[in-house]
A = this chain, B = another copy of it.
Amino acid sequence: MGRKKVEIKRIEDKSSRQVTFSKRRKGLLKKAKELSILCDADVAVVVFSNRGRLYDFSSTNSLTEIVQQYHSHVEAEKESSAEVLDTEHSKYSSFMTVGELLQTVERQLEEPAVDDLSVTDLVHLEDQLQTALMQARSSKTHLMIESIKSLREKEKLLSEENKHLENQIATTKNEREVTNGTMALDFTNLAPASMNCRQQKATLNFL
């Protein structure tokens, strides 16, 4: 879409690669934005130049949220194809708990006759440890994500209840004004405090 048709392959000339990068990057981010607006979709784009500079777009506040969604999604897919996990699972420990594995390792490392351990044994050990580590890490992350989700839920519930209470107060206030035209209490300064609370931005940039 220019004076000439270009083949889609790495542009060798450094200078024009840089120019094209700048132009197309801008275009890509623009289109991402348009898609998110037109179709009410969550869109995130991350671009790293080959010299490591970062450019990104995200339709929600943080890229993180979308990545979280992505991970949840992937998790869900994993679960739906549960049979796959079974085989994988049995691989890393032939019914050996992580605790047992650790003990085995400790025992082996305490052994003075280190020479007795063949390289093959060590490779195997490394594999086992690696897999155990992955498991631990994955559960940790899973738990953290779950707890963040749950905290968000809670926050939402509390916010809603809060709003509800405020409405009740407003209603009461009105009723009082209607019934006896006097005002014993002034609630007008309550609203701002709660707004601050509800409007706090979620600044989660992890994962």
Contacts and interface: CB of A to CB of B under 8 A. Distances in A.
Nearest to A173: B172
Interface in A173-188: 175-176, 179-180, 184-185, 187
A166 to B, nearest CB: 7
Interface stretch (A83-91, A111-119, A139-147): A139-147
A130 interface: no
A157 B17 CA distance: 32
- Identify whether the interface residues of A are mostly helix, strand, loop, or mixed: helix
A5 interface: no
Interface residues of A, number: 94
Contact of A46 (B6, B11, B43): B43
Interface in A39-86: 39-52, 54, 56, 63, 66-67, 69-71, 73-74
A123 interface: no
A154 interface: yes
Contact of A37 (B9, B73, B187): B9
Contacts of A144: 141, 144, 148, 204, 206-207
Contacts of A25: 35, 39, 41
Contacts of A38: 6, 8-11, 17, 20-21, 24
A150 B203 CA distance: 9
A39 B11 contact: yes
Contact of A162 (B54, B98, B162): B162
Shortest 3 CB-CB distances between A and B: which pairs? A143-B206, A52-B97, A151-B151
Interface of A: 6, 8-11, 17-18, 20-21, 24-25, 27-28, 31-35, 37-52, 54, 56, 63, 66-67, 69-71, 73-74, 97-100, 103, 137, 139-144, 146-148, 150-152, 154-155, 157-159, 161-162, 164-166, 168-169, 171-172, 175-176, 179-180, 184-185, 187, 190, 193-194, 197, 200, 202-207
